[in-house]
Amino acid sequence: MDIAFKGEHLFPGDLGQFFIVLAFGSALFSFICYYFATTETAPESDNSWLRLGRIGYWLNTLAIVGMGVCLFYILYNHYFEYHYAWSYTSRDLPVYYLISGFWNGQEGGFLLWLFWEAVLGNILIWKAGSWEKPVMTTLALSQVVLGTMILGLQIGSAHIGSSPFLLLRNAMEAPIFKNPDYLSFIKDGKGMNPSLQNYWMVIHPPTLFLGIASLVVPFAYAVAGLWQRRFKEWVTPAIPYGLFGCMVLGTGIIMGSFWAYESLNFDGFWAWDPVENASIFPWLVLVAAVHVLIVFKNSGHSYFTAAFLTMLSFVLVWYSSFLARSGVLGETSVHAFTDLGLFWQLVAGIFVFLGIMVYLLISRWKEMPITKKDEDTYSREFWMFVGAVFLGLSCLQLIVVTSVPVWNQMFGTKFAPPTDPVKLYNVIQGSFAVVIMLLSGFTQFLKYKQTQIIRFFITTLVYLVVAALITAVVVYATGLYKLNFVFSLVMLCSLYSIFANGKVLADAIKGKYKLAGSAVSHIGFGLLLVGALIAAGTKKVVSENNTGERYSEEFAKEENPKENILLYKNEPIKMGEYMVTFVGDTVEGAQHLFNIDYQRVKNGKVTETFRLRPNVIQSQGGMSSSPDTKHYLFHDLYTHITMTNVLSNEPQQQEQETAHAQADDDKNYDAPIPYNMAIGDTITYREGKIVLKALNKQVKMKDIPLSDKDIAVGAQLEIITHVKTYTTEPVYLIKGRNVFDFGKKVEDAGLKLRFSKIIPDQNKVEITVYQQPESKKKFIVLKAVEFPYINFLWAGTIIMVIGFFMSILRRNKELKPEIVKAAHKPRAAAKA
């Protein structure tokens, strides 16, 4: 018998699922129509297949928008009967985090990918001209394959895709779902991982997925060119789209680095995590492809390599998605998604596009344009090709090592990942960077096809000497020379590339604009490497532990005790040029923030004061810490918590205590010490001093009525600690023949104070002081790291993006005349 569940909002989910099926069906329809439009032999005036293909793609776009609206409606209204809403959001999230919750799960990521491909497809329908039919065939096919990932169809024990509109009661089995009113027990969702509650996660995934989606366009042009045997024509329109993919995907990757820098505690912006590595596979290959495409366009050389790299970049998008989403990296990466059962679907996606690539390259091999004349050794195109080869080799090394879990699963091997992957990647990828940056420098002094050799060598040598002199100063000043020699070489070649491309940029200002875009992007990438080298290579641990504290064996397995300092609450400690004080903690929504005050002290004077608030999350798996960073022009101070006893503490209490409660609580403090005090007297305790400011004879007792015969007196006390002053007022009460005292806790000062006696003949009172033992005091263990010159990395990223944009504008100007000529005839025919 079916259960009639109460309170469920099924309409938005049913509508969303309808849009999913419609999106898949319309993409399949569009693919079929575009395919027949491309292969038909009917007269050019008959564009019925073309019109149907466009209609199918427009319908696909509307369906994708529709499912996005339905999903956001569910998230915004907190309909926790849906598994996606319950898994990734909660009621306390602000709207902008509900937006990021949209792509928090895998299903939302695929939907975002579908959306951006729909946008790009509509741009191509508008702009592609004679290329529309074959290019849109590939885009529609990509929408079909992506659409299967969110279909959520169950066929026997197997399922195709995972739907974001799956109901909670269908996603898991639990006794609660036998209750028709189960929703009355589900008051909130699981919420969002606090490390994802960062503004970068609102903008980073959309940018990254736009970059991922954009790689289908140059792939589609390469497929179209080989398929239609228009071998040379596709290169020109593919270049600006390739540059766009390089620009946006690169921006998305760096945004992810900034998010990791601000939200994760692996002491930096890049940890060579397997999923991080996977994200740059397609970017490296696409950058290489764009350079070889330009080589072919200018010289006619390297056609096969250009086509191969262009198509491979999109195949690697699918392979990267497989690594991140199949669960195969679950034990080796902190970023990997759990397996939603899409393992073989993702594998099929790889082989669909890999199969197309291999078939076209083999079947068209003999027809491809080949230049019989060898390239001149001193030509720009020859060394650009060499640079592209080294980019490809760099990517290959990353793929081989990152894919160790894949090899083990496929072939039953037991290869172990490298014991020190960071060192391995730094040295090998640094070696590749030396060659690539050197090439990006001296190729600017070369000409296409032929170069004046003597002039080239003189110019190259002059700039190399200047770069070497400046590198020597930089390496010595930053201490980079103490590290692996490869890093010094990378610095030399990066600075050489910056100076060489700076000359080209200076020439562009004089009117030679042709190479301005490439020069700016190369300068940006050089600055990026300079910033990364200095920041990561010479970062300095500020929190040096000189006390000999070893902490625990478990702690020492994860952290170096010499790089972590212990801070008790309200006890300042010297840390480098700072005085650092842990002043308290605050719970704000899902975040548990620790307030750490910094004072920069110079010549005995405080020159700067600021507060950092790293976040700590306690979970069943232990403690997760998110750093907070103080940004300066030439360095960053990065701080995170590595251990604390605060999370296990009970909530603070500063209310009045009954005599019975006092007795039970006394065991949490050291032995009490009574003091006889007159007004104005001061007593000292371990962490400060206590002053009796006044006696309040008009004190009011909460919930205790007082008669004229009762006596209630409050001792107004001021507690002065190292960093903060507190006030409190314990009360002494005589009611009838009974005597009571109501103590007060000052938790932040580690005190409990009782007004325990009045001594009228001495005109004094007795104040009893209870101090928390050292073991009960709140503490944190803190690690602080200084990253010098890291702003070069972020500035280099911005400059590189500007360079890509300038190159896109230039290539678009080359494209427009060809597009106008090519587009005129098909569009006129379509109107007819």
Is the separation of the CB atoms in 577 and 544 below 8 Å? no
> To 10 degrees, what angle do helices 791-831 and 235-263 make?
140
Most confident of 22-26, 47-51, 104-108, 405-409: 22-26
- For residue 431, pLDDT beyond 80: yes
Q: Are strands 688-696 and 682-685 parallel, antiparallel or unpaired?
A: antiparallel
Is the separation of the CB atoms in 320 and 280 below 8 Å? no
Q: How confident is the model at residue 103 (pLDDT cuts 50, 70, 90)?
A: confident
Q: Where are the alpha helices (DSSP H) in 606-681?
A: 659-665
Give the separation between CA 439 and CA 417, rounded to whole angstroms: 32
What average pLDDT does the structure give for the chain? 86
Is the separation of the CB atoms in 6 and 181 below 8 Å? yes
- For residue 432, pLDDT beyond 80: yes
% of the chain beyond a pLDDT of 90: 46
Give the separation between CA 596 and CA 642, rounded to whole angstroms: 14
Is the separation of the CB atoms in 151 and 20 below 8 Å? yes
Give the separation between CA 557 and CA 565, rounded to whole angstroms: 16
Residues 473-502 have a mean pLDDT of: 90
- For residue 774, pLDDT beyond 70: no
Tens of pLDDT, residues 635-651: 999 998 988 888 754 44
- For residue 655, pLDDT beyond 60: no
Residue 558 half-sphere exposure toward CB, CA atoms < 13 A: 14
Most confident of 206-210, 510-514, 756-760: 206-210
Beta-ladder partners of 565: 782
Tens of pLDDT, residues 177-231: 888 888 888 988 888 877 777 778 888 899 999 999 999 999 999 999 999 999 9
Q: How confident is the model at residue 375 (pLDDT cuts 50, 70, 90)?
A: low
Q: How confident is the model at residue 832 (pLDDT cuts 50, 70, 90)?
A: very low
- For residue 825, pLDDT beyond 80: no
DSSP result, 97-127: HHHHHTTTSHHHHHHHHHHHHHHHHHHHHHH
- For residue 371, pLDDT beyond 70: yes
- pLDDT at res. 826: 44
Does the CA dihedral 427-432-433-438 come out positive or negative? Answer: positive
Tens of pLDDT, residues 697-719: 888 877 778 787 888 899 999 99
**Residue whose C-alpha is closest to residue 630's, from 786, 783, 781:** 786
- pLDDT at res. 821: 46
Task: Give the distance, in angstroms, between the CA of residue 737 and the centroid of all CA atoms in the same chain.
Answer: 68
Is the separation of the CB atoms in 463 and 503 below 8 Å? yes
- For residue 471, pLDDT beyond 90: yes
Tens of pLDDT, residues 19-71: 999 999 999 999 999 999 999 865 565 689 999 999 999 999 999 999 999 99
- For residue 79, pLDDT beyond 70: yes
Task: Give the distance, in angstroms, between the CA of residue 352 and the centroid of all CA atoms in the same chain.
Answer: 29
Does the CA dihedral 99-104-107-112 come out positive or negative? Answer: positive
Tens of pLDDT, residues 122-139: 999 999 989 999 999 999
SS3 content of the chain, % helix, strand, coil (to 5): 55, 20, 25
Give the separation between CA 445 and CA 443, rounded to whole angstroms: 5
Q: How confident is the model at residue 827 (pLDDT cuts 50, 70, 90)?
A: very low
279: tokens are: 């994200």
Tens of pLDDT, residues 488-503: 999 999 999 999 999 8
Tens of pLDDT, residues 234-286: 999 999 999 999 999 999 999 988 888 887 766 678 888 888 888 999 999 99
Task: Give the distance, in angstroms, between the CA of residue 374 and the centroid of all CA atoms in the same chain.
Answer: 45
For residue 263, CA distances in Å to 256, 334, 639 come to 10, 13, 11
Domain residue extents for the chain: 1-192, 200-417, 553-649+780-786, 659-777
% of the chain beyond a pLDDT of 70: 90
Beta-ladder partners of 753: 744, 769
The model's pTM is 0.83
- pLDDT at res. 212: 95
